[in-house]
Amino acid sequence: MTALTATATAAATAETRLRSILRQDAAACAAFGLLMTAGFALVDSLLGLGPAWAVPFGVYLLGCAVALALVAGYPNLVRGQVVGVVVNNALAALALAVLPFTGLVDLTVAGYIVMLGGAALVALFAVLEAAGAARI
How many other C-beta atoms lie within 10 A of the C-beta of residue 136?
16
- Rounded Cα distance between 60 and 135, Å, is 28
For residue 13, the model assigns a pLDDT of: 87
Q: What is the pLDDT of residues 19-49, one digit of tens each?
A: 999 999 999 999 999 999 999 999 999 999 9
Supply the pTM of this predicted model.
Answer: 0.89
Helix, strand, coil percent content, the chain, rounded in steps of 5: 85, 0, 15
- Rounded Cα distance between 28 and 6, Å, is 33
Using the 8-state DSSP alphabet, how is residue 108 labeled?
A: -
Is residue 132 within 8 A of residue 11, CB to CB? The reply is no
